[in-house]
Amino acid sequence: MSIENQSQEKLKYRLEGLSCANCALKIEKAFSSEETIGETSLNFATQTVYLPPAALELAQRIIDRIEPGVILRPINQLSKSLEQEENSSDIKWKKIRMLGAGMLLAIGLILPLLNINLPLALEYTVFLTAYFLVGYEVLYTALRNITKGALFDENFLMALGTIGAIAIKQLPEAVGVMLFYTVGEYIQDLAVNRSRRSIQALMDIRPDYANLVHQLDVQKVAPEDVQVGQLILVRPGEKVPLDGEVVNGSSFVDTSALTGESVPRNMEKGDTILAGMVNSSGVLTVRVTRPFAESSIQKILDLVENASSRKAPTEKFITTFSRYYTPAVVFIALGIAIIPPLIGMGTYSEWVYRALTILVISCPCALVISVPLGYFGGIGGASRQGILVKGANYLEALTKVKTVVFDKTGTLTQGVFDVVEINPAKGFESKFLMEITAAAEAHSSHPIAKSIRESYGSAIDQGDIEDYEEVSGKGIRARIKGYEVLVGKAVLLKDSGILIPDEEHGLKGTLVYVAVSGKYAGQILISDRLKVGAKETIRALENSGIKTVMLTGDHQTVAESVAKDLGVGEFHADLLPQDKVAWVEKLMSGNSQGKVVFVGDGINDAPVLMRADVGIAMGGLGSDAAIEAADVVLMEDQPAKLLTAIGIAAFTKKIIWQNIFFALGIKLGFVFLGAIGIATMWEAVFADVGVALLAVLNATRVSRHTSLEI
């Protein structure tokens, strides 16, 4: 079930205090196995999950069984921030315990070096006190899990390994392993919380208040309390709290929070302004057009925060792998402890020590935690570049792109049209041709229609339009001043049996054909301009081995001219919306080894955006259709952002596989060294805690490397 569907039936909850990635997987699995909860996805990076309110008590019982101390709270009733958690009494007490255990361990190790031998009872007292200071939580959790039939987790492994070490009188190593494990878990928690605070930093684009204009007074209120139609005041330096229309004032605004670009944008009366923009200079009065819950910024925040719930294939593989990996190592360790002594290859104490070392090594934390954090780093880094990726699965899909299909108008070209030629047929005048065409296009939102109305330049009398019908993908049929008028593509006129002259070749623009009362009345040539960076983007894709295709509803001659200017490898023209879908399906069927990406404007291309392996909406700033239909949204209207998105995806995947091979390589290497008696428990701690910490730190590199190109 998708996050969107879940959010309709379930409420969002925060799992306060959840820092164990392996425990998060267990909780998610336990939730999903309960019929009253249903299939759900726990987002470890943001500590959130969607649950039915009626199942809240059941969910908390599951959490208490798996990870006591984690509290389930509604998202709007959080008791602490991450910063408060780090400075809470529990954290301070943990620091004191680690420091005390470290001092006792140091005393127990240093005194023999000074030729001071402690009595056996005192030696055990020193080491066991240190051991229980840092290990009692691990021991308690392991014992509780055993009583519930949950073996083979990190607590069980650490408890078994260190208790075994005590049993064979390796007290310093037992204390050292437990101490370093606890310190490593603490440092790992700090690294995870830093990643979460980077998410919170992104969340800082959420406006805190709105200045509501109330008669002659201005009141500071929560953005959620402002109603559609009310006026708000946005002063210099303030974040725009809600989407709206500027009704008074002018100013430059910073759109970087939404688009990743810091170029200021001028806002004047009548302009649409979006929540999350920052007012730079003048005072603006804005009429609110959407409630906060439906604002652009809230949709962006929801997308970013929920993106980690859509797991990539690599993430799912590691989750499955970790379930079999730990039990396998436990049985290997058991075999090492029993079989060699039975066949006379050494003493039981020697082989038991080696087996205990392997148990310490086998904790799966490094694998489990680094992969989801790596993907979230990539998603977060992309969002700061104005690239919204709806899930880790789409981020990974971008690393397998073999074909990129572009829409033309509004994607590769600016979609800003100019009338460059008016060619009336014999018996018709240019003025009449423009007047009748502008009237026919009066209700259309298409950029070409807008350019015709602007070129006409006069007011259109709506009373002249007696009938109006849009013919999908072909044009407009209308009755104006008693005339039956057809305006659109050549096929529209041909379908009505109207003869048109031979079409000219080499045209650099779009021809709009006009018929009046069954007679061909003329044609209007509309030109478009290439977007800045479009040609360079096509060249970079082709040079990297990615095939480029352009699909357009424009005439063959226009499409050919644009394709030649851009350097597109393949193009198809005269297409209806359903034809674009068919072409993408054809490309997908012939491209089984790679992914097919479609890049469109997100408004007219919703069907094909949804059909492609990855649908990318270009210039989706404020576009509901873009955010809903696409898998990736490029908020800034720049084709080069596609290169950045693919680059971030490639870097993210590289880091994640580095972590996987690094963690597995080190762990399996130490398992071998432990089995042959070379690795000690001291060294095994690095194979567990050290590898986990390094993997987490490596994963955080993704969020810092955002200016990437293929």
Is the model's pLDDT at 569 over the cut of 70?
Answer: yes
Q: At 625, is the pLDDT very low, low, confident or very high (cuts 50, 70, 90)? A: low
Report the pLDDT value the prediction gives residue 199, as an integer from 0 to 100.
54
Is the model's pLDDT at 198 over the cut of 70?
Answer: no
Give the rounded percent of residues in the chain with a pLDDT score beyond 70.
Answer: 81
Q: At 311, is the pLDDT very low, low, confident or very high (cuts 50, 70, 90)? A: low
Average of pLDDT values for 428-437? 92
Q: Do 323 and 193 sit in the same domain of this protein?
A: yes
Report the pLDDT value the prediction gives residue 88, as an integer from 0 to 100.
56
Report the pLDDT value the prediction gives residue 25, as an integer from 0 to 100.
78
Q: Do 134 and 192 sit in the same domain of this protein?
A: yes
Report the pLDDT value the prediction gives residue 486, as an integer from 0 to 100.
95
The domain tally of the chain equals 5
Please name every residue paired with 615 in a beta bridge, in sequence order, or none if there are none.
598
* Listed range (429-438, 450-459, 474-483, 688-697) with the worst mean pLDDT: 688-697
Q: Which residue, of 604, 635, 666, is where some domain finishes?
A: 635
CA distance 50 to 66: 18
Q: Do 487 and 547 sit in the same domain of this protein?
A: no
- Which CATH number does the domain housing residue 68 bear? 3.30.70.100
Report the pLDDT value the prediction gives residue 487, as an integer from 0 to 100.
94
In a domain, 217, yes or no: no
Q: Do 555 and 624 sit in the same domain of this protein?
A: yes
Give the rounded percent of residues in the chain with a pLDDT score beyond 90.
Answer: 19
Q: Which domain holds residue 16?
A: 11-74
**Interval 339-387: pLDDT, tens:** 998 888 888 888 888 888 887 777 766 666 667 777 877 877 787 787 8
The answer to whether residues 309 and 3 touch, using CB atoms and an 8 Å cutoff, is: yes
Q: Do 121 and 253 sit in the same domain of this protein?
A: no
Report the pLDDT value the prediction gives residue 432, as an integer from 0 to 100.
92
Give SS3 for 661: helix
In a domain, 113, yes or no: yes
Q: Do 620 and 578 sit in the same domain of this protein?
A: yes
- Which CATH number does the domain housing residue 496 bear? 3.40.1110.10
Q: Do 370 and 421 sit in the same domain of this protein?
A: no
The answer to whether residues 257 and 385 touch, using CB atoms and an 8 Å cutoff, is: no
**Interval 6-43: pLDDT, tens:** 444 678 888 887 877 677 878 888 898 888 888 887 87
Q: Do 406 and 421 sit in the same domain of this protein?
A: no
Residues near 106 by beta carbon (within 8 Å), at least 6 away in sequence: none
Q: Do 100 and 161 sit in the same domain of this protein?
A: yes
Query: 0.75 exceeded by the pTM?
Result: no
- Catalytic-labelled residue, pool 153, 243, 254, 407: 407
Q: Do 133 and 27 sit in the same domain of this protein?
A: no
**Interval 504-536: pLDDT, tens:** 555 567 789 999 999 999 999 888 778 888 999
Report the pLDDT value the prediction gives residue 310, as an integer from 0 to 100.
61
Q: Which residue, of 479, 497, 530, is where some domain finishes?
A: 530
The vertex-392 CA angle with 604 and 666, nearest 5°, equals: 160
Average of pLDDT values for 94-114? 88
Select from 182, 191, 177 the least CA-distant residue to 361: 177
Report the pLDDT value the prediction gives residue 1, as an integer from 0 to 100.
39
Report the pLDDT value the prediction gives residue 367, as an integer from 0 to 100.
67
In a domain, 447, yes or no: yes
- Which CATH number does the domain housing residue 257 bear? 2.70.150.10
Is the model's pLDDT at 628 over the cut of 90?
Answer: no
**How much is the mean pLDDT over the chain?**
80
Report the pLDDT value the prediction gives residue 6, as an integer from 0 to 100.
41
Calculate the dihedral angle through the C-alpha atoms of 13, 18, 22, 24, rounding to the nearest 10 degrees. Answer: -10
In a domain, 360, yes or no: yes
Q: At 133, is the pLDDT very low, low, confident or very high (cuts 50, 70, 90)? A: very high
Q: Do 502 and 619 sit in the same domain of this protein?
A: no
Q: Do 434 and 474 sit in the same domain of this protein?
A: yes
Query: DSSP assignment of 142-173, as one string?
Result: HHHHHHTT--SSHHHHHHHHHHHHHHTT-HHH
Starting at the edge strand that comes first in sequence, how are the strands of the sheet with 272-273 ordered? 217-221, 210-214, 231-234, 284-288, 244-248, 272-273
Average of pLDDT values for 229-244? 91
Report the pLDDT value the prediction gives residue 443, as an integer from 0 to 100.
85
In a domain, 566, yes or no: yes
Report the pLDDT value the prediction gives residue 84, as an integer from 0 to 100.
44
In a domain, 552, yes or no: yes
In a domain, 641, yes or no: no
Calculate the dihedral angle through the C-alpha atoms of 370, 394, 76, 39, rounding to the nearest 10 degrees. Answer: -90
In a domain, 81, yes or no: no
Q: Is residue 407 among the annotated active site residues?
A: yes
